[in-house]
Amino acid sequence: MNKTNIENSICCEALAKKTYAIALDGPSGAGKSTVAKLVAKKLGITYLDTGALYRALGLVCLNNGVDVKDGAAVEQCIKDVNVNISYRDGVQSVTTDGMDVSSMIRTPEVSMAASAVSAIPYVRQKLLGLQRGIAENSSVILDGRDIGTVVLPNAKFKFFLTASAEVRARRRYDELIAKGQTVVYEDVYSDVVTRDKNDSSRAVAPLKCADDATEIHSDNMTAEEVAEFIYAAVDEGLL
Ligand code: DC
């Protein structure tokens, strides 16, 4: 190999290793996970649903009869719990102490528990390293509440996806019904409003749009349209 070929090959290797992160924040029910999955598939990158981590710890507390608003009791309950993420065929699973809890964390009770425990600084600190570690080694899209502000403040791409509370509640209601759960729209709406309040008003890492994020209001957009918008912006930014 001559010198130019060697230089080219080193340069290509460096480019191939270059990873990037997309932060996708927003309130519950905005459609973040559907959109993130579409974008991840199109770009061939990893998707991390960070809410699943808070849900998993919320579930551990519920299963142990712990008051999810009691910071000291929650800390005691989860401090030795090993939370982990794994992927099979691109689908994320979350485990607590080796047990796959992915299918148990999608109930309204766990949603409220996750929102409550996520306000506890110890819980947020415990999950920070895991989220950053996943973003360190590969190109990723993370959805959550504080990705662009706290977890990955230097993410190359940041989006804040939102929609009105009515539209978000309707989407969540349809999703739960499709999964065969018995729910009432008014209860789902009230949970959405309560979670918005909890998630936005907590002292640590509250839900908020990062100053350098692009805000997307999706009341009149399909998930495919939002994903296409994000994909186009990322594609252009990677040139
Ligand atoms: O995205 P989700 O609905 O699965 O999240 C469940 C709860 O977890 C949500 O009410 C707030 C909390 N959460 C958080 O505080 N920070 C994140 N990055 C993700 C979720």
Distance, CA of 58 to CA of 177 (rounded, Å) = 22
**Interhelix angle for 185-201 vs 165-178, to 10°?**
120
Burial of 211 (0-12, 13-18, 19+ CB in 10 A): exposed
pLDDT per position as a tens digit, 5-30? 544 444 444 444 589 999 999 998 89
Q: Which atom of ligand 1 is least distant from the CA of 202?
A: 15
Q: Is there an atom of ligand 1 within 6 Å of 199 CB?
A: yes
pLDDT per position as a tens digit, 213-229? 999 999 999 999 999 99
pLDDT per position as a tens digit, 59-116? 999 999 999 999 999 999 999 999 999 998 888 999 999 999 999 999 989 999 999 9
Q: Which of 22, 35, 37, 50 maximizes ligand 1 atoms within 8 Å of its Cβ, making it the mutation to test the pocket?
A: 50
Q: What global pTM score does this model have?
A: 0.89
> Closest residue (by CA) to atom 16 of ligand 1?
145
Contact 110, 58 (CB under 8 A): yes
Contact 117, 195 (CB under 8 A): no
Taking the centre of ligand 1 as the mean of its atom positions, its distance from the CA of residue 167, in whole angstroms, is: 18
pLDDT per position as a tens digit, 114-131? 999 999 999 999 999 999
